[in-house]
Amino acid sequence: MAIHPGDILAGYRVTRLLGRGGMGEVWAARSDTTGRDVAIKVLLARAAVKPDLVQRFQREAKIASAIQSPYVCSLLDVGLTPDGAHLLVFEKLDGESLADRLKREQYLPFAEVFPIIEDVLCGLCAAHAADVIHRDLKPGNIFIERTASPERPERAKILDFGISKLKRGDGEQNEPTLTAFDATLGSFAYMAPEQVRGAARADERADIYAVGAVAFRSLSGRLPFEGTTAALLVAMKLERQAPSLAEATGDRWPAGIERFLERALERKRENRFATAREALDGWRTLAPGGRVIQPPPPVRAPEPSSLHVAPPDPPTVADDADAAVSQDDQPTWVDHPPTETVDTPLIGQALDLSSEPGRGRRTGR
């Protein structure tokens, strides 16, 4: 069934299309009774005929409902369209993705990057406490929400747990491959080396690597590794330590920032921060301007969910370099014009990273 403005989905009246990707569409909608704005993610018919993709959609609902954090986009409801298509109802956020901001600004001052990374690490603390590994952190999956607080007018939230996995390893070998559908390398630049070797190898430390890569990109306007082919990027990630900010930019940086990124981007995961909490504590020692650091809300155990989601088979991942990458760079429930975008081409094609935002450096820092 085609969806149109004015249709009622899960008790909300559809207003307009926000985005479209390989698996689904995302529509803005509003409650006629409460006036609440939401974003509804609907699984497309061509994806709904694939049992593994339906399972992935259901797993996203199960995982998102398990995480209780103000730094993670909230799942509000799960349901079906009138013709039986699966849908997820998320809170609708007001603001922009970090990817959009970086495309506009090329790079950001540390005072602006600091609270973004702090919030992301707070969100990861909650996700990891719920036994969830994100596996696709990148600027497109970090949303900078406008708030009503004059003291903190913005807050970063993690989006899109569509390719997350649970830390519990029982049954991992049984998950069907998602490679046939997720063939793009949309998240490749932010993947940890062990995740490049195979998605099943990713644990909490892969998320920490991704946070380090996001921070590096945000501060420098460059990616830690750049190359002309996928094979070259794989080789660099597997064989080399990430460069320092000074090497990437030609500028001097505070030693504390360099040490944090060096550890977060360690090629060997045993040398990285062991947990998101440890990384958060290390990041907070770098707080600019004598800012008072507020402790994050305590991580709550997931409450019994009222969401009616068919329990998926034990979640696992495909163990190959193509697996567990996102079809869309842009977050799918964010208020932006409909688009289908990916970060990089298909495996085997040349990667033209000269188009990466920030290639042309702004003058001044």
Report the pLDDT value the prediction gives residue 62, as an integer from 0 to 100.
84
Q: Would you say residue 364 lies in a domain?
A: no
Question: What is the pTM assigned to this prediction?
Answer: 0.75
Q: Would you say residue 6 lies in a domain?
A: no
* Burial class (CB within 10 angstroms; exposed 0-12, middle 13-18, buried 19+) of 285: exposed
Which of these, 187, 198, 185, 196, lies nearest to 238 by C-alpha position? Answer: 196
Q: Would you say residue 132 lies in a domain?
A: yes
* Residue with token string 């190898």: 201
Give the total number of structural domains in the chain: 1
Report the pLDDT value the prediction gives residue 187, as an integer from 0 to 100.
72
Q: Would you say residue 235 lies in a domain?
A: yes
Q: Would you say residue 173 lies in a domain?
A: yes
136 classed as catalytic: yes
Q: Would you say residue 87 lies in a domain?
A: no
Report the pLDDT value the prediction gives residue 125, as an integer from 0 to 100.
97
Report the pLDDT value the prediction gives residue 177, as an integer from 0 to 100.
34
Per-residue model confidence as pLDDT tens digits over 227-279: 777 778 888 888 899 999 999 999 999 999 999 999 999 999 999 999 999 99
Report the pLDDT value the prediction gives residue 141, as an integer from 0 to 100.
92
Q: Would you say residue 244 lies in a domain?
A: yes
CATH code, domain with 278: 1.10.510.10
Report the pLDDT value the prediction gives residue 42, as an integer from 0 to 100.
93
Q: Which of 77, 100, 136, 343 is catalytic?
A: 136
| Long-range contacts, 250-256 (Cβ 8 Å, 24+) | 251/365, 253/219, 254/286, 256/285, 256/286
50 is in an annotated binding site: yes
- The identity of residue 246, as a single letter, is A
47: enclosing H helix or E strand: helix 45-48
Report the pLDDT value the prediction gives residue 87, as an integer from 0 to 100.
92
**CB–CB of 67/160 below 8 Å?**
no
Low-confidence ranges of the chain (pLDDT < 50): 169-186, 292-365
**CB–CB of 264/193 below 8 Å?**
no
Q: Would you say residue 48 lies in a domain?
A: no
Question: What range defines the domain where residue 308 resides?
Answer: 95-355
**CB–CB of 40/12 below 8 Å?**
yes
Report the pLDDT value the prediction gives residue 188, as an integer from 0 to 100.
79
